[in-house]
Amino acid sequence: MAETILKCVGVSKFFGGLTALDQVDFEVNTGEVVALLGDNGAGKSTLIKCISGVYKPEQGKITFTGKDIVHSTPAEVRDEGIETIYQDLALAENLDVGANVFLGKERMKKVFGLFPVTDDEYMRQEATKVLDRLDIHIPSLKQKLVNLSGGQRQAVAIARALYWNAKLVIMDEPTAALGVPEQRKVLALVRSLREQGIPVILISHTMQDVMEVADRIVVMRRGKVAANMMRRDATVDLIVKHIIGASEVNE
C-alpha cells in the first residue's frame, strides 16, 4: 500500500515583497511519479529548493519519512535520501563516470600501503553495476563526462542517486536541453526508478512527457497549488486550463 513519504504543509516562501510560495500543501507517496507543472515563475523550482534544503521557507512544515527536514542543510537532506538533479547537473566534467558516481564520497586505496589515491577501478566496477541496474550502457566508463551526451550525463546523475540509496529523486526540467532520443531515455530512467520503488518528482514543460510517465499531476500557479489530480483523470486541455488559470479562460 502506498504511504506518504514526503509531506509539505502550508509552505510559504517570500523573496522581499514577492510571494514565491503561498501556503503550499504537497505530498509524494511511495511508488509514484508526481509531475509538477506550471508556467514560468509559478514557484516550481522554489518548492523543490525548499524541499532539498537550499531555501528555508518562512512558514510551513516539511517532513520526509516522518522526520522534520525544514531546517536541514542540502547535505543533510541528501543524507536523508532525497536526491535532486538540477538542469545544470552538479557533475565533474573532467572526471570519468565512476568518479562522478562517487563524487564527494570517493573510495580511496593505499599504494605500497602508504599513499592514499582514489580507487578508480573499484569506482568504475561499482558504477557499472548500478548502470546495469538502470539498463544504461556507456561504451567506456573511463570516458570523461565532458565527452558524454546530455542523456548519458542524466543517466550518470541518476546512477549516482541510485547507488547512494536515494529514497526520492527530484528532477527539475531533465529533458529541456536534450534531443528527442535522449528525452526518451530519460523517461525510461524515470520509469526504471519507479519500478525499483523510488518515487520521482518530475518538473517538465513537455506535456507529452508528463502524460506518459506521471501517476499524479500537480499544477502550480502564482505560488499556489492550482490542481492536484491523478493522471487517469487528466487531459491536456484540463491541465492547460489550470496552468493558465481556468477562470481567466472564461473572461
Ligand X SMILES: Nc1ncnc2c1ncn2[C@@H]1O[C@H](COP(=O)(O)OP(=O)(O)O)[C@@H](O)[C@H]1O
Q: Total number of residues binding ligand X (CB under 6 A)?
A: 11
Cβ 241 to Mg ion, closest distance in Å? 21
Torsion over CA: 116, 121, 122, 124 (sign): positive
Residue 40 beta carbon to ligand X: minimum distance, rounded to whole angstroms? 4
For helices 120-133 and 150-163, give the axis angle rounded to 10 degrees.
100
43 binds, among Mg ion, ligand X, none (CB under 5 to 8 A by kind): ligand X
- Minimum CB separation of residue 227 from ligand X in Å reads 15
Closest CA to 208 of 242, 183, 229: 183
Footprint on residues 41-100 left by ligand X (CB under 6 A):
41-46
Residue number, 22 or 27, with CB nearest to ligand X: 22
Indicate which of Mg ion, ligand X, none lies near residue 81 (CB less than 5 to 8 Å, by partner kind). none
Distance of closest approach, residue 153 Cβ to ligand X, in angstroms? 21
- CA geometry: angle at 71 spanning 67 and 75, to 5°? 85
d(CA 200, CA 35): 8
Per-residue x/- mask for Mg ion, residues 32 to 61, rule CB under 5 A?
Answer: -------------x----------------
Residues 115-134 that bind Mg ion (CB under 5 A): none
Q: Does 175 bind Mg ion (CB under 5 A)?
A: no
C-alpha span between 141 and 128 (Å, rounded): 8
Residue 131 CB, nearest approach to ligand X (Å): 30
Q: 137 near 128, Cβ under 8 Å?
A: no
Q: Which does 133 bind (CB under 5 to 8 A by kind): Mg ion, ligand X, none?
A: none
Amino acid making up residue 239: I
Written as one letter, the residue type at 214 is: A
DSSP secondary structure letters along 97-140: HHHHHTTTS--EEEETTTEEEE-HHHHHHHHHHHHHHTT---S-
- Residues 2-41 as x/- pattern, contact with ligand X by CB under 6 A: -------------x--x-x-----------------x-xx
Residue of closest CB approach to Mg ion: 45
Least separation in angstroms between CB 75 and Mg ion:
22
With vertex at residue 241, the alpha carbon angle to CA 239 and CA 245, rounded to the nearest 5 degrees, is 125
**CA 149 to CA 86: how far, in whole Å?**
16
Measured from the CB atom, the residue of 38 and 53 that comes closer to ligand X is 38
Q: How far is the CB of 138 from ligand X (least distance, A)?
A: 30
Give the binding site for ligand X (CB under 6 A): 15, 18, 20, 38, 40-46
Give the binding site for Mg ion (CB under 5 A): 45
